[in-house]
Amino acid sequence: MTLTSSNLLSHQKIQRCHLDALAVVYVRQSTLGQLQKHQESTRMQYALVDYAQSLGWPTERILV
């Protein structure tokens, strides 16, 4: 996920105490058909893991 000026501002607001909490990425597809036909949605949801990492969360503190 690309950092923009608006989410850089959010990044500046994140403090150490925030990073001590888990970052939870909720990924949901309702049916097998959605998994097969809407793969971009799935990729975008999993990209939130990369986004959390870019904000400072260590991989072991990100729950998918």
User: What are the residue numbers of the active site?
Assistant: 30
End-to-end CA distance of the chain: 16
Residue 10 token pair: 């959010």
Q: Cβ(1)–Cβ(47) under 8 Å?
A: yes
Q: Cβ(49)–Cβ(25) under 8 Å?
A: yes
